[in-house]
């Protein structure tokens, strides 16, 4: 198990137009609340009229729990600078629902990290369009729900899944090699809350059978891309990418095996950064304070 976080640890994410006084105002505000900044990261696209992004971790006085008051009082400074912002308790466990189909390498990576205490989340259930992973998932003590996606009944299947996600009050969804294209209706229900792993180094080899396409092109690198899901297939904001060097000796099947290792690593990193509030989405890009 990893070391537990202090119960009085908070996180603040800020995005706004760059302008003088942002850092000083936030620091002064937290100091007045009796809070101490323990980590701070910032980035600007351009000091002269660009966008400014910031992530802060802070501890408030352990003598009393006034996090909600700090959050409420921050509204005034946020309004002054026109912040797009979010403040979270670091110890709050986000609820993550996992979707999977037949391949289990990404699923098992997430479950292992969760079991080892490396993912500070709750997993209320795993949803699949195939029954194959039922025994494996339930072995971790996690409910497994089989929702088959039959021809002509996809809308019905998605509604069942949406209802379950809402029933469990999930914070985000992870597609751990879920081999179904989600409808715009589904995506719009959970904007910026669905993470997918694509088995290629986007934007190359979009769509199905990327390893076969990569083999035909004789690639020297294979990769995987973890991204947020939007209505545009495989074109959502990218959170993480990873690669592995290969050569002409790799068959299409060997590329696929090697690619699985890259996929699970990239997805696990992306999920970790998301649940630790390290990602700010700006347009179709992300700022990741890793």
What residues act catalytically?
Answer: 234
3-class SS at 235?
coil
Q: What are phi and psi of 123, to 5 degrees?
A: -115, 95
CA distance 139 to 122: 16
Instruction: Give every CB contact of residue 136 below 8 A, 6+ residues apart in sequence.
Output: 104, 107, 108, 111
CA distance 199 to 105: 12
CA distance 29 to 193: 30
CA distance 3 to 231: 38
* Contact yes or no for 25/81 (Cβ under 8 A): yes
Q: Residue 207: how many CB atoms within 10 A of its CB?
A: 11
CA distance 15 to 26: 13
């Amino acid at each position: 198990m990893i070391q537990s976080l202090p119960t009085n640890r908070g996180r603040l994410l800020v995005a706004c137009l760059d302008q003088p006084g942002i850092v000083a105002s936030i620091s002064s505000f937290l100091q007045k609340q009796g809070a101490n900044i323990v980590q701070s990261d910032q980035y600007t696209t351009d000091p002269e009229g660009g966008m400014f992004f910031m992530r802060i971790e802070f501890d408030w006085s352990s003598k009393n729990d006034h996090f909600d008051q700090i959050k409420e009082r921050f509204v005034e400074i946020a309004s002054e600078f026109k912040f797009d912002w979010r403040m979270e308790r670091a110890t709050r466990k986000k609820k993550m629902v996992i979707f999977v189909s037949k391949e289990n390498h990404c699923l098992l990576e997430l479950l292992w990290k969760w079991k080892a205490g490396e993912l500070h989340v709750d997993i209320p259930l795993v949803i699949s369009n195939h029954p194959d992973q039922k025994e494996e998932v339930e072995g971790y003590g996690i409910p497994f729900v089989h929702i088959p996606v039959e021809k002509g009944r996809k809308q019905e299947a998605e509604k069942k899944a949406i209802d379950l996600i809402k029933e469990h009050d999930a914070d985000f969804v992870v597609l751990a090699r879920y081999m179904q294209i989600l409808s715009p209706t589904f995506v719009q229900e959970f904007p910026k809350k669905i993470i997918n792993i694509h088995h290629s180094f986007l934007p190359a080899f979009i769509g199905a059978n990327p390893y076969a396409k990569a083999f035909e092109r004789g690639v020297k690198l294979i990769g995987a891309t973890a991204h947020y899901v939007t209505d545009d297939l495989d074109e959502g904001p990218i959170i993480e990418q990873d690669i592995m060097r290969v050569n002409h000796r790799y068959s299409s099947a060997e590329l696929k095996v090697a690619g699985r290792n890259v996929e699970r690593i990239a997805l696990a990193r992306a999920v970790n950064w998301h649940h630790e509030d390290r990602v700010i989405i700006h347009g179709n890009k992300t700022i990741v304070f890793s």
